Amino acid sequence: MSENRALQRAHILANHILRSPPLPSSLSLAREVCLQYSPPELNESYGFDVKEMRRLLDGHNTEDRDWLYGLMMQSNLFNRKERGGKIFVSPDYNQTMEQQREITMKRIWYLLEKGVYRGWLTDSGPEAELKKLALLEVCGIYDHSLSIKLGVHFFLWGNAVKFFGTKRHHEKWLKNTEDYVVKGCFAMTELGHGSNVRGIETVTTYDPRTGEFVINTPCESAQKYWIGGAAKHATHTIVFSQLNINGTNQGVHAFIAQIRDEDGNICPNIRVADCGHKIGLNGVDNGRIWFDNLRIPRENLLNSVADVSPDGEYVSAIKDPDQRFGAFMAPLTSGRVTIASSAIYSAKVGLAIALRYSLSRRAFSVKANGPEVLLLDYPSHQRRLLPLLAKTYAMSFAANDLKMIYVKRTPETNKAIHVVSSGLKAVLTWHNMHTLQECREAVGGQGVKTENLVGQLKGEFDVQTTFEGDNNVLMQQVSKALFAEYVSCKKRNKPFKGLGLEHMNSSRPVLPTQLSSSTLRCSQFQKNVFCLRERDLLERFTSEVAQLQGRGESRESSFLVNHELAEDLGKAFTEKAILQTILDAEAKLPAGSMKDVLGLVRSMYALISIEEDPSFLRYGYLSRDNVGDVRREVSKLCGELRPHALALVSSFGIPDAFLGPIAFNWVEANAWSSTERGESLLYQMCFFCIYVKRTPETNKEIHVISSGLKAVLTWHNMRTLQLSYPNFHECRESCGGQGVKTENRVGHLKGDYDGQTTFEGDNNVLMQQVSKALFAEYVPCKKKKKTFQRIGIGAHEQSSPCVAYSTHIFCPLMQPLPGRKQRVHLPFNLDVLGIARLMYALICMEEDPSFLREVSKLCRELRPHALALVTSFGIPDAFLGPIAFNWVEANASLVFSLVTTNKLFQ
Amino acid sequence: MASHSQVLVEEKSSVRILTLNRPKQLNALSFQMISRLLQLFLAYEEDPSVKLVILKGQGRAFCAGGDVSAVVRDIGQGNWRLGAKFFADEYMLNYVMATYTKPQVSILNGIVMGGGAGVSVHGPFRIATQNTVFAMPETVLGLFPDVGASYFLSRLPGFFGEYVGLTGARLDGADMLACGLATHYLPSTRLTALEAELCRVDSSDPTVVSAILDAYTQNPHLKQQSAYHRQVLDVIDRCFSGRTVEEIIAALEREASDDWISTTIRALKKASPASLKISLRSIREGRLQGVGQCLSREYRMVCHVLKGDISKDFVEGCRAILIDKDKNPKWEPWRLEEMKDRMVEQYFKRVEEEEDLKLPARKNLPALAMAKL
């Protein structure tokens, strides 16, 4: 024994000194002497042709993409660095906001010089558009700021000129835009109005004496806000404004205005201020604009839909202002298309990093003295990442499909594009945020290190859920569109056509009562389940709305009351559309290994969607037993997808250099020899401890409770600061764009507190410990027929004990809720705390498909107390962000320099 | 040790010195030499008494490439698969060298071309001298820069790799050091002393070997006509970053004409259009791939080249340059625009009834080698 130990020590020393591989020995040492990195490529095999899969996923312009990857890797502007012998390119997010903006602009110039944007505005046709979309996607994989800054210039400014303008605008601007002779921005959003474009307050009048339009910002809430490019670089802008002709408001119109001269000086009658530091995307110079009687030539009205004659007469082929507005906004779908696909590429980056890491990082041994187990060999880790991988695949096909419909658009397909792009933009961006957070947690502490990207990307991509239409608003639009379609078909007694609703023409699908494994994996069954949900929710939604309308409610308020159904319906529609695209992709493949694996991926997508949506139980499409079968099948599929994990992420085709160092040799990347002086990319996190008082007797109880609470509370915090599920209204997203502004705190806090889900024990590991402890408590008690005394266990059985247990701790006043259905009676005259407690209990049940309950009534009851409840948190005003108070004044042009306030103090 | 042997082996304590020994053929790699090198390298890896391997060439060349005339003979006899076997072994050797667990020092005191680069550049130490002449001339032979060149050329600074790979431009020792193809440079007179010192090293630690080499190395001046001067490099980055071969040539033609520009354009117009297009694509893909993937892809490509199912330029190029020496190849397709994208695409697909290259499993890889996977 002692001899063994001496030998082992000698090995360790030798290893440290010589860095040579350990000598093969007959010793019974099961563990490696020193932890070594082993590339997943050496241990995993590829069950299908990765290159072909990549071609299928990218869908188009693979070679153009590779060319652009190469252009970035070969230039010093893209912040090349070496880690563990490999080259990585990713922006230096430790630069100041000013530096990030300047380097982003320099990267744009470099790519311009290389001819990357050739034809982006001057060529047309599907082929040219697809190439442009592919190249933009690659830019977004490198850095979201880069693709957004390009997107504003080409897709917002450029496309507005192209689609809202006519020949005179095209000739004057398009080529100059492509060559960056002019730098464009797009002033639509205002401080007071974002998604509700028709409510904007900027006003334009016409002066027939000079033949000029006069643009004005009448009040502080009318200032243009979040205008990308406005703070530093843009020379021109599209201005969205109400057009007032002879006292008649003709609605929102778009104009071209110059805001800077060639030397970058701000033009007269224009005021510009900075939006400041943000939680991400700091390479984009978002600014604010005020117009003070700015005069622009009459020709600068983008007149594809309506025009004003020289003598001041308003002319438009479309008389109805609603239709006019619709026709006007239709071309803007391109933004949602690009956001949806860039969200998927960002999720791919996150998953490639997290899965590669989980194939090389080990933790804990299952047997004493056994080797530590690879993270991805834990079923729980598979369950965290592989369903997200499958969703990313399915959504990748959906994004490609959307691009194809978009580039081949005709006036007839406009409506379908609007609806599908709204749903996909929302679902795909939510999926991205959810995936990045899960990947961040799955790589543990390494995820908060900026150079490893997964954590940083959350901030960079967060705003996707807001811009180009708030996700919740978009989802409601999907439901409204489906409602309109339904009503019009029923009214005219015509069959459904388009939007994938054709299945409504045939009879309601009947699902088998028993679900075997092969049934669950059958594509027809999966389609039927998704169709059934969509159909039923659509029927419910329309009948609920019709009922309310029958009682004299307006249509809008009937929608509002039924917002939960509307959300469920929007989700059902979008998820079915996604399922259809992966089914189509699969059907086109010849029989073979690739088709087989894609079949597994598709089944995983279908089943995880069922597993995660309580609607199936809530409305009774599936029974409790069915849902149990689905859950078991998901975990079986995890095991079957596990061997393909590396091949599946390699097929994403993201070059190594665009992933983070932990995706590769993270031992070498962190070796002493690779340290560089003066470099510290690790941002310090704000730590705070959970302090627990303990006595020897309570140790076990405290351990279990603190584990459960730490996990549940930190997850709750992350979800409150950002939530990833469409069903929740969360702080960051419900503040809209304001949430990404650093000074407003909500977005920023996410980064500061993210580490909580990892340090002091990974949340998932903690939750497992809770279950293990409960198991340990349960078994002896049952055995010895003793009553449960400790850690608050009631004599009840739960299918998912840890969540149920944590929930249970929170509401000591609630009786334990057994697994069987039990109606919860709402006592009358509840005090506020009572409502809050009940709301807590019920929302827990609502979100956990183990229970079923409606909570909207309580929402309404809590609404009057909302202010009082948050005020009771006792956070002093000074510690909240400016949007919590007078955000109009906080953004007013007069106070944007802090000098005034400072003077007050002096 | 027989002096007629094509690979000479010297054992000096823990160092093995291998000398390529076909001086009349400028040490062109024969099938035999490749098999022998592979066998030796694999054996040394297992042998704990070997710490370091030195590779050099007899006479005025290090190695002028693979012995392709033998391969062309095989093709002529309707036996392209024999040629494929030659390349498979050669690429295997390249892979073993790229992922070798012990340091390899290559002494490039003379001509280094094509396959010669393949047996040296993948190792961690490459020593150039005033006699070194480097080139990847495959595009004028109707071939493409193979032997893992799509891995190492694509990793040269900027778009220098595209330039070297497409034009077959010659580099001297100073250029090689500047661009990173060589790691050290010394006058050939000091080679004997260096070798003697390396033989005393008795360590596989790259930092120890590096320290010895660093003490000998010099920083030579770039020649007047070197392509590695800043202003030329700028032109290379501007032009050779183009998306297609056509764009690259068009960009070169837009530049103000000088000797370098006209030589470069001439070189491109002389090369096989098919070769140019597949070479560019190969380098572009190689930039994003590991060394194993690069070699596997190159193997697919070379099988198509040998089989001649898309273009027969390889046989024609060898005829015009190596056999008839009329230097007047009749390329087919003759013009760049006739070489369509889908024909290029074909080269990257697996040849029917031909297995993909099977790379040997590697163990205990050093970090540097892992990073190349």
Residue A576: CB atoms within 10 A of its CB come to: 24
How far apart are the C-alpha atoms of A395 and A379, rounded to whole Å?
24
**For residue A84, which residues of chain B lie inside 8 Å, CB to CB?**
367, 370-371
Instruction: Give A346's Cβ-side CA count (13 Å radius).
Output: 35
Q: A410 exposed, middle or buried (CB, 10 Å; 0-12, 13-18, 19+)?
A: exposed
- Please report the number of interchain residue pairs, chain A to chain B, with beta-carbon separation below 8 angstroms: 71
Question: How far is CA A607 from each of CA A486, A584, A620, A697, A800, rounded to the nearest angstrom?
Answer: 28, 18, 16, 45, 19
Q: Determine the residue of chain A that is closest to B348 in CA distance.
A: A51
Distance from CA of B27 to the nearest CA of A (A): 32
The pLDDT of residue B17: 97
| DSSP symbols for A759-817 | TTS-HHHHHHHHHHHHHHHHHHHHHTTPPP-STT--S---SSHHHHHHHHHH-TTSPP-
Question: Which pLDDT does position A884 carry in this prediction?
Answer: 82
B270 in reach of chain A (CB within 8 A) = no
Q: Is the pLDDT of residue A847 over 80?
A: no
- Sign of torsion, CA A87 A93 A99 A103? positive
B345 touches chain A (CB under 8 A): no
- CB < 8 Å to A85, chain B: 367-368, 370-372
Cβ-based neighbours of B347, under 8 Å, separated by 6 or more: B278, B281, B300, B301, B304, B305, B310
pLDDT at A813: 34
Residues in A touching B367 (Cβ below 8 Å) = 37, 84-85, 665, 667-668, 671
- Looking at per-residue pLDDT, the higher value among A677 and A547 belongs to A547
B367 and A84 within 8 Å at the Cβ level: the answer is yes
Confidence of residue A678 (pLDDT cuts 50, 70, 90): very low
Q: What is the mean pLDDT of residues A863-878?
A: 80
Q: Report the distance separating Cα B311 and Cα A402, nearest Å.
A: 39
Contact call for residues B93 and B104 (beta carbons, < 8 A): no
List, for residues A320-361, the tens digit of each pLDDT value.
Answer: 888 888 777 776 788 999 999 999 999 999 999 999 999 999
pLDDT band with cut points at 50, 70 and 90 for residue A820: very low
| Residue-level pLDDT at A893 | 65
Residues of chain B found within 8 Å of residue A115, distances taken between Cβ atoms: 242-243, 247
- Of the candidate ranges A183-192, A536-545, A737-746, A850-859, the one whose mean pLDDT is the lowest: A850-859
End-to-end CA distance of chain B: 36
Per residue in A767-806, pLDDT tens?
A: 888 888 888 888 888 888 777 665 544 434 333 444 444 4
- Could you tell me what percent of chain A has a pLDDT over 70? 84
Mean pLDDT value across residues A99-125: 97
pLDDT at residue A321, as a whole number: 82
CB contact under 8 A, B243 and A67: yes
Q: What is the model's pLDDT at position A19?
A: 54
In three-state secondary structure terms, A819 is: coil
Count of alpha carbons within 13 Å of A902, Cβ hemisphere only?
4
What does the pLDDT read at residue A2?
Answer: 52
pLDDT at A27 over 80: no
Mean pLDDT taken over chain A = 85
Other CB atoms closer than 10 Å to residue B206's CB: what's the count?
A: 16
Q: What is the pLDDT of residues A239-284, one digit of tens each?
A: 999 999 999 999 999 999 999 999 999 999 999 999 999 999 999 9
| Residue A80 backbone phi and psi in degrees, to 5 | -65, 140
Rounded Cα gap, residues A861 and A118, in angstroms = 58
A644 vs A389: CA distance, rounded Å: 11
With cut-offs at 50, 70 and 90, classify the pLDDT of residue A22: very low
Subunit contact A66:B285, Cβ cutoff 8 A: yes
Weakest-pLDDT range from A533-537, A584-588, A722-726: A722-726
Rg of the Cα atoms in chain B: 20
Contacts of A672 (CB under 8 A, 6+ apart): none
Which chain B residue has its CA at the smallest distance from A37's CA?
B367
Q: Flag whether residue A93 sits within 8 Å of chain B, measured between CB atoms.
A: no
Q: Would you put residue A269 in left (φ > 0), alpha (ψ -120 to 50) or beta?
A: left
Q: Where do the DSSP E strands lie in chain B?
A: 7-12, 15-20, 52-57, 61-63, 104-108, 111-113, 125-128, 133-135, 171-172, 184-185
Q: Which of B243, B288, B361 sits opposite A655 (nearest CB)?
A: B288
Cα dihedral A777, A781, A782, A784, rounded to 10, equals: 140
Does residue A153 sit in helix, strand or coil?
helix
pLDDT digits (tens, 9 = 90+) for B154-172: 999 999 999 999 999 999 9
Is the CB of B373 inside 8 Å of chain A's CB atoms? yes
What's the DSSP call for residue A158? Answer: I
* Average pLDDT of the segment spanning B50-61: 97
Distance from CA of residue A753 to its chain's centroid?
A: 18
Q: How near does any CA of chain A get to the CA of B55, in Å?
A: 23
Identity of the residue in B205, B287, B362 whose CB atom sits nearest the CB atom of A73: B287
CB B62 within 8 A of CB B181: no
Asked if A115 reaches chain B (Cβ–Cβ under 8 Å), the answer is: yes
pTM of the shown model:
0.86
Cα–Cα distance for residue pair A667/A85, rounded to 1 Å: 11
Q: What is the pLDDT of residues A808-817, one digit of tens each?
A: 444 333 333 3
d(CA A235, CA A264): 7
Query: Binning pLDDT at 50, 70 and 90, where does residue B279 land?
Result: very high
Distance from CA of A668 to the nearest CA of B (A): 7
Pick from A21, A84, A657: CB nearest B364: A21
Q: Indicate the Cα dihedral angle B214, B217, B221, B223, nearest 10°.
A: -120
Give the minimum alpha-carbon distance from B92 to chain A in angstroms, rounded to a whole number: 17
Kindly report, residue by residue over A648-676, the tens digit of the pLDDT.
999 999 999 999 999 999 988 888 876 65
- Partner-chain residue, chosen from B247, B284, B362, that has the shortest CB–CB distance to A70: B284
Bigger pLDDT: A854 or A528?
A: A528
| Nearest residue in A to B156, CA atom | A74
Going by DSSP bridges, is the β-strand pair A294-297/A80-83 parallel, antiparallel, or unpaired?
unpaired
When CB atoms are compared, the residue of A41, A67, A657 closest to B284 is: A67
| Chain B: residue whose CA lies nearest to A113 | B238
How confident is residue A6, by pLDDT bands cut at 50, 70 and 90? low
Answer whether A592 touches B (CB < 8 Å).
Answer: no
Which tokens in the block code for residue A385? 């990442």
Helix (H, G, I), strand (E, B) or coil at B32: helix
At A203-253, the pLDDT tens digits run: 999 999 999 999 999 999 999 999 999 999 999 999 999 999 999 999 999
Q: Say yes or no for a CB contact (<8 Å) between B242 and A115.
A: yes
Residue A877 CB coordination number (10 Å): 8
Residues of chain A with C-beta less than 8 angstroms from the C-beta of B285: 66
Check CB contact under 8 Å for B290 and A84.
no
Among A324-338, A612-626, A659-673, A891-905, the range of highest mean pLDDT:
A612-626
- Residue range A36-44: mean pLDDT, rounded: 85
Cβ contact (<8 Å) for A74 and B241? yes
Q: Please tell me the distance in Å from A127's CA to the nearest CA on chain B.
A: 15
CA distance A286 to A294: 21
Q: Which of B247, B287, B290 sits opposite A70 (nearest CB)?
A: B287
Complex ipTM value = 0.91
Give the residue on A whose Cα is nearest the Cα of B102: A20
Kindly list the distances between the CA atom of residue B356 and the CA atoms of A598, A665, B348, in Å, as whole numbers in the listed order: 23, 27, 11
Alpha carbon distance B285, A93 (integer Å): 28
**B154: chain A residues, CB-CB within 8 Å:** 70
B interface test, pick of A37, A63, A650 with most B CB neighbours within 10 Å? A63
| Positions of B marked active-site | 66, 115, 138, 146
Q: Is A86 on the interface with B (CB under 8 A)?
A: yes
Topology (CATH) of B7-219+226-347: 2-enoyl-CoA Hydratase; Chain A, domain 1 (3.90.226)
> Mean pLDDT highest for which of A59-68, A321-330, A716-725?
A59-68
Give the C-alpha separation, A708 to A713, whole Å: 8
Q: Is B365 on the interface with A (CB under 8 A)?
A: yes
> CB of A773 within 8 Å of any CB in chain B?
no
